[in-house]
């Protein structure tokens, strides 16, 4: 009996090995024997390299007023949006309480933000509050194709796909703005590119635009520059510096997503690594806290004396970038400025140094200076490039210097609920404000509106108080 049992085990082992070998030899697209259809996975299983601009696509209602990678991915995108809704209680509460009153009835909003499941919940909330929306992506790598498809299927004119070229990027923005029979009266921007495009190409549109809502520090800087030069034509709301955006999204979102982005792209271990974080604003604080907790040795560069003192008080060593550039393993920029890491810094980096950006702008790292004949670019995996010097030294560049977390990973939905609700309230405030309340300048969201946003979370509300949620029966602007 023992001999028979041994033979059976050997026979079964042989069958298992043959099965595993068969699986390994299967084409990559059909590697799972349990997939019942080619659509069992939506993650770029198609070899179709045709540009979405060259495709003729229609949704189930017959509309073709959109441009996405593949409209057939809409079902998967809808599932992601439904998951996001569960983690966005503030925005869902705003939708529930205000959709009967339609405070955005008549609003025609053109948006340029990251197109993710969280943005989709925001767009559908704006639609439920009465607004018409047209949307493009503010980053060529952050679009979730399946979510863009779901929005297009729902009737939203969306022009975005992951991996756009620079020409595609501006083409998508133009398709949102330049449409016959439809003119925007509100702008929701993230980075200022949409505002810049309208100002450059269609300045007469500002005659009907009531206001701009800007989310990022880069876009806010551009608005202040326009204001200082006397060229800002409409009121603008600075969401980036609102208490809810600064204290939650910039800090806590980046504290979690920086590790996710680095781990997914490089599979690296953080313990013992030397990291320099350029900038100690709220984004820098989140990045430093996460890396320190994982055992990294963290250096900070900062030009603002208050933020520099905060870094010292938090236990980080303040340095100049030139002092540590030869020894660090990772360089992270999060300043919102440009040319923070120059070609001189890149030349002096050690072999296999990882370089990435957590700020909105893709100009913090001087990537353009690396596109020269003497340097070789080698694509390792999606969003990961080796830039190789003639002597064999190489650096690892992530997302070509663009925003790491949204280009290479995901961000916590729960925190983004706060930012999205802030954006919605800012749009409502500007749209409903009586003429003359806001002049052609940049404003912060009224603080008491922001303080009401956390109230949908019962576990975040003090026991003895009930902060009024700003979405109430009266939509008189504050």
- Binding site for substrate, by residue number, is 116, 190, 215, 245, 249
Q: Output the CA–CA distances (angstroms, integers) from residue 276 to 323, 402, 407, 436, in the order listed.
A: 11, 18, 21, 47
Q: Which of 352, 367, 140 is nearest to 267 (CA)?
A: 352
Q: Which of 471, 452, 416, 426 is nearest to 120 (CA)?
A: 416
Q: Which of 290, 291, 276 is nearest to 328 (CA)?
A: 276
CA angle at 14 for the pair 11 and 20, rounded to the nearest 5° = 145
Q: Are 397 and 65 in contact (CB under 8 A)?
A: no
What is d(CA 201, CA 183) in angstroms, rounded to the nearest whole number? 14
Structure tokens at 427: 């749009």
Helix (H, G, I), strand (E, B) or coil at 362: coil
Tracing tokens 């100009």 back to the chain, one arrives at 363
Binding residues, by number, are: 116, 190, 215, 245, 249, 281-286, 302, 405
What is d(CA 399, CA 157) in angstroms, rounded to the nearest whole number? 27
Burial call 291-324: b when 16+ CB within 10 Å, e when fewer? bbebebbbbbbbeeeebbebbeeeebeeeebeeb
Binding residues for NAD(+), by number, are: 281-286, 302, 405
Q: Which of 329, 377, 378 is nearest to 350 (CA)?
A: 329
Q: Which of 324, 353, 333 is nearest to 401 (CA)?
A: 333
What is d(CA 295, CA 141) in angstroms, rounded to the nearest whole number? 30
């Amino acid at each position: 009996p023992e001999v028979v049992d041994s033979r059976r085990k050997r026979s079964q082992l042989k069958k298992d090995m043959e099965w595993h070998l068969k699986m390994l030899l299967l084409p990559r697209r059909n590697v799972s024997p349990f997939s019942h259809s080619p659509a069992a996975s939506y993650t770029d299983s198609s070899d179709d390299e045709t540009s979405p601009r060259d495709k003729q696509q229609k949704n189930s209602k017959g509309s073709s007023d959109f441009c996405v990678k593949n409209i057939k991915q809409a079902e998967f995108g809808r599932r992601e949006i439904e998951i996001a809704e569960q983690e966005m209680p503030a925005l869902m509460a705003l939708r529930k309480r205000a959709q009967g009153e339609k405070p955005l009835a008549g609003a025609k909003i053109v948006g340029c933000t990251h197109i993710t499941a969280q943005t989709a919940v925001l767009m559908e909330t704006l639609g439920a509050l009465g607004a018409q929306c047209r949307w493009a992506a503010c980053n060529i790598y952050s679009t979730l194709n399946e979510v863009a498809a779901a929005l297009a299927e729902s009737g939203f004119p969306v022009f975005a796909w992951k991996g756009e070229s620079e020409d595609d990027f501006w083409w998508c923005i133009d398709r949102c703005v330049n449409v016959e029979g439809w003119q925007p009266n509100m702008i929701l921007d993230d980075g200022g590119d949409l505002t810049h495009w309208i100002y450059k190409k269609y300045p007469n549109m500002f005659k009907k635009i009531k206001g701009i809502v800007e989310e990022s520090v880069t876009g806010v800087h551009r608005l202040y520059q326009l204001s200082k030069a006397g060229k800002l034509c409409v009121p603008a709301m600075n969401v980036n510096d609102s208490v809810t955006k600064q204290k939650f999204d910039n800090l806590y979102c980046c504290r979690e997503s920086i590790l996710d982005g680095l781990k997914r792209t490089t599979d690296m271990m953080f313990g013992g690594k030397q990291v320099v974080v350029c900038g100690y604003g709220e984004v820098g604080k989140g990045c430093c806290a996460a890396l320190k907790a994982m055992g990294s040795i963290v250096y900070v560069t900062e030009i603002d004396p208050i933020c520099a003192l905060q870094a010292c008080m938090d236990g980080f060593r303040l340095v100049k970038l030139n002092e540590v550039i030869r020894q660090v393993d990772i360089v992270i920029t999060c300043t919102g400025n440009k040319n923070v890491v120059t070609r001189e810094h890149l030349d002096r980096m050690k072999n296999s140094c990882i370089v990435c950006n957590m700020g909105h702008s893709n100009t913090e790292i001087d990537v353009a200076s690396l596109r020269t004949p003497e340097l070789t670019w080698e694509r390792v995996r999606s969003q990961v490039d080796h830039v190789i010097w003639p002597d064999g030294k190489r650096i690892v560049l992530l997302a070509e210097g663009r925003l790491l977390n949204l280009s290479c990973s995901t961000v916590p939905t729960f925190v983004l609920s706060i930012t999205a609700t802030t954006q919605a309230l800012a749009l409502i405030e500007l749209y409903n404000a009586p003429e003359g309340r806001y002049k052609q300048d940049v404003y912060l969201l009224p603080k008491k509106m922001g303080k009401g946003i956390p109230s949908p979370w019962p576990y975040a509300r003090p026991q003895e108080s009930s902060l009024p949620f700003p979405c109430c029966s009266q939509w008189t602007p504050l």
